[in-house]
Amino acid sequence: MDLLKEYIQKLITISDTNLNTFCGYFNAVTIQRKELLLRQGELCNFEGFITKGCFRLFTIDDKGNEHTLYFGIKNWWIADIHSFLNQVPATFSIQALEDSEVLLINRENKKKAFNEIPEIEKLFRIILQNAHVALEQRMIKNISTTADQRYLKFLEKYPQIAQRLTNIQIASYLGVSPEFLSKIKRKIAKS
């Protein structure tokens, strides 16, 4: 819980009382490697703040291929927010890639927090702002660069994540086949 408190205090000014009330709305969950925190098609009734380990948020298409929207490690949030906000079946599954720990807040408690603690609006406005800027940058890179460039960018931006992932997982994030990623890696190794 200290990790979450520290994280929040970096983003906003908040009294200890309000900070404790807000953090009291979270439940700590331990989850083992390869287990699912959410299954595609279910309702996502939580937003998670990761305190240990590594997760991935992915979807499986009609042909059985996996596609990864993002990976999350300590101090990142993880949720199918479309499902969480609009109460529609989740597009994504969330899986622990290592033995992991996450703090979960459910819809009811998040609503309570918004109603009772004014600073929480600012907190989530800033969190969403940062996440949105990062996703806009990734989106334009995805449109405008080759898979080779995207792979190198991923290694450069998330070195602490990349080394913990398999080829298949990274390929599913870059939007290429594992075979194509192997080809890219060989090309880079040669040059």
The torsion angles phi and psi of 123, rounded to 5 degrees, stand at -55, -50
According to the binding rule CB under 8 A, does residue 17 interact with a second copy? no
Taking phi over 0 as left and psi of -120 to 50 as alpha, with beta for the rest, 20 belongs to alpha
Task: List the interface residues with a second copy, window 100-119 (CB under 8 A).
Answer: 114, 118
Check: CB of residue 49 under 8 Å from CB of residue 4: yes
According to the binding rule CB under 8 A, does residue 91 interact with a second copy? yes
The alpha carbon dihedral of 75, 80, 82, 83 has a sign of: negative
The minimum distance between CB 2 and a second copy, in angstroms, equals: 25
Give the integer Cα–Cα distance in Å for 65 and 81.
22
According to the binding rule CB under 8 A, does residue 146 interact with a second copy? no
Choosing from 36, 140, 168, 188, the residue that interacts with a second copy (CB under 8 A) is 140
Give the integer Cα–Cα distance in Å for 7 and 59.
29
127 or 155: whose CB is closer to a second copy? 127
According to the binding rule CB under 8 A, does residue 89 interact with a second copy? no
The conformation of residue 18, written as its DSSP 8-state character, comes to: H
* Among 18-26, 84-92, 103-111, 159-167, the segment contacting a second copy (CB under 8 A): 84-92
According to the binding rule CB under 8 A, does residue 122 interact with a second copy? yes
Q: What Å distances lie between residue 154 and 4, 35, 150, 178, CA to CA?
A: 26, 25, 6, 15
According to the binding rule CB under 8 A, does residue 168 interact with a second copy? no
Choosing from 33, 34, 111, 125, the residue that interacts with a second copy (CB under 8 A) is 125
According to the binding rule CB under 8 A, does residue 35 interact with a second copy? no
For the CA atoms of the chain, what is the radius of gyration?
18
The minimum distance between CB 32 and a second copy, in angstroms, equals: 26
Check: CB of residue 189 under 8 Å from CB of residue 152: no
According to the binding rule CB under 8 A, does residue 59 interact with a second copy? yes
Footprint of a second copy (CB under 8 A): 59, 61, 65, 67-69, 81-82, 85-86, 91-92, 114, 118, 121-122, 124-125, 128-129, 131-133, 135-140, 142-144, 172-175
